[in-house]
Chains A and B, each alone.
Chain A
Amino acid sequence: MSNRRRPRLAPPHLSRRQFLGRAGALAGAVAIGPSILAACGRRRRRRRRRWGGGGDTIVISNWIEYIDEDKALIAASEEAIGAKVDYKEDVNDNNEYFATVLQPNLGQGRSPNRDGFIVTDWMAARVIGLQWVQELVREAAPNLANLRAALADPSWDPGRRYSVPWQTGMTGIAYNRSVTGRDLTSTQDLLDPAFSGRVTFLTEMRDTVGLFMLLDGKDPTNPTFEDAQGAFDTIEEAKNSGQLRGFTGNEYVNDLSTGNLAACIAWSGDVAQLTKDDPNIRFVIPAEGGMLWSDNFLIPETSEKAELATRWIDFFYDPVNAAQLTMAIQYISPVDGVADELRKLGPDGVALAENPLVVPTDESLAQVRIFGSLDEEEEQRFDERFAAITGA
């Protein structure tokens, strides 16, 4: 998910963190140029170098604002595993992380200098398929048994040998009721001419195309390029007609609260916090269905500290710690028993435990689908068509 992070009381302007994120993306764009140039000069001998690091330190990459603000949980995890954790918030976008960190290193058999990183399902599927990651050290991680059963066996990683979810979330539609003047219930509402120029979709292809496939009566859990044509056509038409203001990562959060946007495709965790501050901002899972995704923890094939890294993620599978994390970031925890632990954390915790966007109910889970995996060729066709529409 591009730019996904915990929402805040959004000022109308760009916050420092957002700016840093963007600047990072730019710096990445600048930085990748030379490495590509260097790489294309001559075919280098593939060399396997394992990354040692110094002493007992593990390096973890995660998304921005995907942990408690003062990082007390990181300190607690260091205590628990008896090693330092160099926690980098340097994942800003799946594609960008792949292009700047994973591919230039793992693609050439070099270490990316990470012992763990967190990316969304489809990207996790890709790196597992490319055999760039190694198995988790299950026997060192008793808490991983607390993984919710529904998440235990994805098609791209049967039995979760290589990956475990960090958090999960839902994709649906968010709207500002003071702008729309009515409640929205369907993805079709995003195409209402009354909201012309005040609607955004996500740059995350699977979220946007997934919702429109559902609207089109197609099944995104088993996607084919043919089935997606209707969805692509609708998205293209919305763009050409000026209905769409843009394709966004998480920057829709600001535009939604300032009223620049009437409605948009959005991620549940972002909106959960906004709603608390402004009840006019609402999130719904469209009547035709919404999407469900996870961000997954993986260990690069080059890491020599797989056991430490596995123990680190295991720390967050203790329901007590998982509940702390949920309190801080309000996404859906993949850990069983979090709701009970939340209820022990005072009124705020109880409120979260009752919030179907944070602790989904059977009904809300029945409404969401997981975008099925695409083989390499299909994925390229999807990406190319989507890129042609997003205009870049």
Chain B
Amino acid sequence: MEREPAPGVKRGRFAPYGLLAPGVLWLALFFLVPLATLLRMSLSSKANRFDFEPDFTWEWSNYSDAITEFGEQFRRSFAYAGIATVLCILIGYPLAYVIAFRGGRYRNLLLGLVVVPFFTSYLIRTFAWRTLLADEGPVVSLLQDVGVLADGGRLLATSWAVIGGLTYNFLPFMVLPIYVALEKIDVRLVDAARDLYSNGWRAFRKVVLPLSLPGVFAGSLLTFIPASGDFVNAQFLGGPNHTMIGNVVQNQFLVQLDYPTAAALGFILMTIITVAVLVYARILGTEELV
């Protein structure tokens, strides 16, 4: 069925470009240009240690050196970010589910509670964890009392503290997209499944879960990507054996003054994340879902 375009639509043929322009300009200026200079830097070599403007020499060895030297930190970053993402799904999905389907009139309040901690800065929240997990702190003594943690055991400066910090800090980024996806689901679909002799679990698996996958996908991206580049949690909650790639980049930039290596590390990180996201999208079949 053809519909007459509303008057004035023709005239606005260039309107889409006009609307796109600010965003495109912004991205070009603050994303593409820096990206290009970063790429150039990653292929440069320094004449001496304090050379502020390294020469562009197609120095591909920056990349191979960075991978050989910091492979361990790369592996660790993705492992920590991956575990934190899975934990966020395990904690965040049921939470979002309850808020969406059982929240009733408390829905907005509950959602508010998820977001409230984020009125405090990221750094302060991470530091609060230092106090909570301190050797003489409440969490450690409780765990020791119930025998989970050996006497003299500790949480701070362990992998688990870093993963815990990441999970905590990125949880709302998982909860909110999942909530939005769940909230959109027409409950009558679930009723229909039940009418067709599906039990509760099957109705969830066949109806609710597939319909909420776009939320899980979005939440995973919002969690995994920043978590793999994070350095705050490893810095403050981890020990010297738990540094992530973000710490390496920071150190290369600010202490070693090795800008080419730092730039190469940044590019490697971006590439791996992009590939990982594409693979993930493929597995989840998100092209159809979104």
Offer 24 A-B interface pairs, CB within 8 angstroms, sorted by A. Answer: A13-B130, A14-B130, A29-B250, A33-B253, A36-B41, A37-B37, A43-B53, A99-B255, A107-B50, A108-B52, A197-B154, A197-B239, A198-B135, A240-B241, A244-B240, A245-B240, A246-B239, A259-B135, A259-B136, A260-B156, A379-B49, A387-B251, A391-B73, A392-B243
Q: Is B259 an interface residue (CB 8 A)?
A: yes
**Contacting residues of chain B (11-66) with chain A, CB-CB under 8 angstroms:** 34, 37-38, 40-41, 44, 48-50, 52-54
Q: A40-B54, A96-B254, A99-B255 are in contact. Are A12 and B131 (CB under 8 A)?
A: yes
CB distance from A184 to the nearest CB of B (A): 19
Closest A-B pairs by Cβ, 8 of them: A392-B251, A391-B243, A14-B127, A107-B52, A392-B247, A95-B255, A13-B131, A37-B37
Binds B, one of A20-28, A80-88, A212-220: A20-28
Q: Please tell me if the beta carbons of A390 and B154 are within 8 angstroms of each other in the complex.
A: no
Contacts of B38 in A (CB 8 A): 37
B240 contacts which chain A residues (CB < 8 A)? Answer: 239, 244-247, 389-391
Q: Are B52 and A23 in contact (CB under 8 A)?
A: no
> With the chains together, A376 CA to B250 CA distance in Å?
22
> Is A73 at the interface (CB under 8 A from chain B)?
no
CB-CB under 8 A from B40, the residues of chain A are 40-41
B130 to chain A, nearest CB (A): 7
A392 near B241: Cβ-Cβ < 8 Å: no
> Which A residues are CB-close (under 8 A) to B124?
14, 19
Q: Is B166's beta carbon under 8 Å from chain A?
A: no
Question: Dominant SS at the A interface?
Answer: helix
Closest to B40 in A: A40
The chain A residue with its CB closest to the CB of B37 is A37
Q: Is B257 an interface residue (CB 8 A)?
A: yes
- Given A13-B128, A14-B127, A391-B243, the answer on whether A383 and B52 have CB atoms closer than 8 Å is no
A258 contacts B134, C-beta separation under 8 Å? yes
In the assembled complex, the CB of B36 is this many whole angstroms from the nearest CB of chain A, namely 9
Q: CB of B162 within 8 A of chain A?
A: no
| Known A-B contacts A19-B127, A39-B53; A99 and B254 likewise in contact (beta carbons under 8 Å) | yes
Distance from A278 Cβ to chain B, minimum over Cβ atoms (Å): 14
- Best-surrounded residue of B73, B131, B137 (most CB of chain A within 10 A): B131
Closest-by-CB residue of A relative to B124 is: A19
Contact call B259/A40, Cβ cutoff below 8 A: yes
A14-B130, A26-B123, A392-B248 known; A99-B253 Cβ under 8 A: yes
Docked CA distance A389–B135 (Å): 25
B48 touches A260 (CB 8 A): no
Is the interface on chain B under 10, 10 to 19, 20 to 34, or 35 or more residues?
35 or more
Spell out B's residues near A (CB within 8 Å): 34, 37-38, 40-41, 44, 48-50, 52-54, 69, 73, 121, 123-124, 127-128, 130-131, 134-137, 154, 156-157, 232, 238-243, 247-248, 250-257, 259
How far does the alpha carbon of A36 sit from the alpha carbon of B255 in the complex, in Å? 14
Please give, as numbers and ranges, the residues of chain B lying within 8 Å of A38 by CB-CB distance.
Answer: 37
From residue B152, how far is it (CB to closest CB) to chain A in Å?
A: 8
Tell me, rounded to whole Å, the shortest Cβ–Cβ distance linking B72 to chain A: 9
Q: Number of contacts between A and B (CB, 8 Å)?
A: 126
Besides A13-B128, A29-B253, 7 more A-B contacts (Cβ < 8 Å) are A12-B136, A14-B124, A37-B41, A103-B50, A103-B257, A239-B240, A380-B49
**B-chain residues with CB within 8 Å of residue A103 when the two chains form the complex:** 50, 52, 257
CB-defined interface of A182-212 with B at 8 Å, one 1/0 digit per residue? 0000000000000001100000000000000
What B residues does A348 contact at CB under 8 A?
A: none
Shortest CB-to-CB span from A251 to chain B, Å, is 9
| Bound CA–CA A156/B127 (angstroms) | 40
Using CB atoms, name the residue of chain B closest to A240: B241
Contacts of B241 in A (CB 8 A): 239-240, 242, 391
The answer to the question of A367 belonging to the interface, with a C-beta cut-off of 8 Å to chain B, is no
**Smallest Cβ-Cβ distance to A108: which chain B residue:** B52
State which residues 2-18 of A face B: CB under 8 Å.
12-14
Tell me the complex Cα distance, A247–B255, Å: 14
Q: Point out the residues of chain B lying under 8 angstroms from A387, CB to CB.
A: 251, 255-256
Q: Which residues of chain A from 367 to 392 have any CB-CB distance to chain B below 8 Å in the complex?
A: 376, 379-380, 383-384, 387-392
B123 touches A19 (CB 8 A): yes
Kindly state the separation between the CA atoms of A291 and B41 in the bound complex, as whole angstroms: 38
The answer to the question of A130 belonging to the interface, with a C-beta cut-off of 8 Å to chain B, is yes
Closest B residue by C-beta to A20: B123
Closest to B153 in A: A197
User: Residues of A contacting B134 with CB < 8 Å?
Assistant: 12, 258, 260
A230 at the interface (CB under 8 A from B): no
CA distance A205 to B52 in the complex (A): 23
Q: Are B53 and A37 in contact (CB under 8 A)?
A: no
Q: A34 an interface residue at 8 Å Cβ cutoff?
A: yes
Residues from chain B with Cβ under 8 Å of A390 in the complex: 240, 251
Q: How far is the CA of A17 from the CA of B195 in the complex (A)?
A: 62
| A246 contact set on B, CB distance < 8 A | 157, 238-240
Neighbouring B residues of A198 by C-beta, 8 Å: 135
Within 8 A of B (CB), among A91-127: 95-96, 98-100, 103-104, 107-108
